Amino acid sequence: MENWIEKIDSSSTFEELENVRIDIFGKKGFLTLEFARMKEIPNEEKKEFAQNLNLQKERLTSKLDEKKEILNKELLNKKLESEKIDVTKFNNTISSGATHPVAETMNKIINYFQNLNFAVEEGPLVEDDFHNFQALNLPQYHPARDMADTFYNKDYTLLRTHTSPVQIRTMLTQKAPIRMIAPGTVFRRDFDITHTPMFHQIEGLVVDKADKVSFANLKHLLVEFLQHMFGDVEVRFRPSFFPFTEPSAEVDISCVFCKGEGCRVCSQTGWLEVLGCGVVDQNVFNAVGYEDKSGYAFGLGVERFAMLIHSIGDLRSLFESDIRLLGQFK
């Protein structure tokens, strides 16, 4: 018995302790063989023999548990010792953070238009059908609603598909002239390398008397803005359709990767689409009660601008929080 106690005490690793345990309690272990001898012991001696074996079993089991706890404490102390740090030492290496490319791009756009005396307006993320669709000349069953796969709620509200509802809310609460941008988060049921279910838009609106607003004003504003964001690029306007503007146009810039010569990114066309714009449709003004007014509006995706500025190939990488990616923008 004392010999087994000494073996347990002298075990310096869990492996050695486990070997001792097997030698005692295993199929061919010391106590297992002793219990097997019970059938050979005379009946009058069995009770005393069994009691003695049970006492030995309890003592050895308790000793094994004690030794296991001691080894666990030693292991923990070694780990703590290896991982300890001297908090009194001053670290001269100062690592600065980085602004996320989407936030950086949005701030740059907002600052540009604020310097041109545009007000920054905000609105709710959860909208109703009137502000998100009907007031923007998108009545129920209008085919253009399919352009934005919408997240609907059970109470007939929805997650806004663009920041245009902010323009409607602004016109309903303010009188012209209006000069505003509406930055914010929008939601659509889409997900691939160029689309995510949640993304950011900035839309602009200018409303004034009919003789003070024209498409020429809009064109000049956007050309200056795009050259501020992308440098010396060419800008072109292509006729398009948006329910809330007429006439409408999509705006392209010469490809920032191939300088207009044609590459995979621009599908060999030399052009990249960056935003949409147009003169506000009269039906929109009718919905908000404006008379004898004219205006123009434009809208852009902040993530697309960030991807072009920073040469990011997959939109989804902007939302994966990869420190290696974000660290490049310090």
Binding site residue list for Mg(2+): 246
Contact 180, 167 (CB under 8 A): yes
If you ran DSSP here, which 8-state letter would residue 108 be given?
H
Q: Are 296 and 215 in contact (CB under 8 A)?
A: yes
What is the C-alpha to C-alpha distance for residues 222 and 122, in angstroms, rounded to an integer?
22
Q: Which residues is 202 bridged to in the sheet?
A: 183, 300
| Nearest-angstrom CA–CA distance, 256 and 261 | 10
38-57 as b/e, with b when 16 or more CB fall inside 10 Å?
eeeeeeeeeeebeeeeeebe
Residue of 183, 212, 189 lying closest to 279 (CA atoms)? 212
Separation between Cα atoms, residue 130 and residue 81, nearest integer Å: 65
- Please report, in range form, the residues annotated as the binding site: 246
Residues 6+ apart with CB under 8 A from 219: 237
Rg of the chain taking only CA atoms, in angstroms:
37
C-alpha to C-alpha distance for 153 and 195, rounded to whole angstroms: 22
**Which residue is listed with tokens 């999509």?**
250
Which of 69-78 are b and which e, b meaning 16 or more Cβ less than 10 Å from the residue's Cβ? eebeeeeeee
Q: What are the tokens at 141?
A: 């069953």
In one-letter notation, the amino acid at residue 267 is S
The residue assigned the tokens 């070997």 is 19
CA 41 to mean position of chain CA atoms: 75
State both tokens at 101: 């490319």
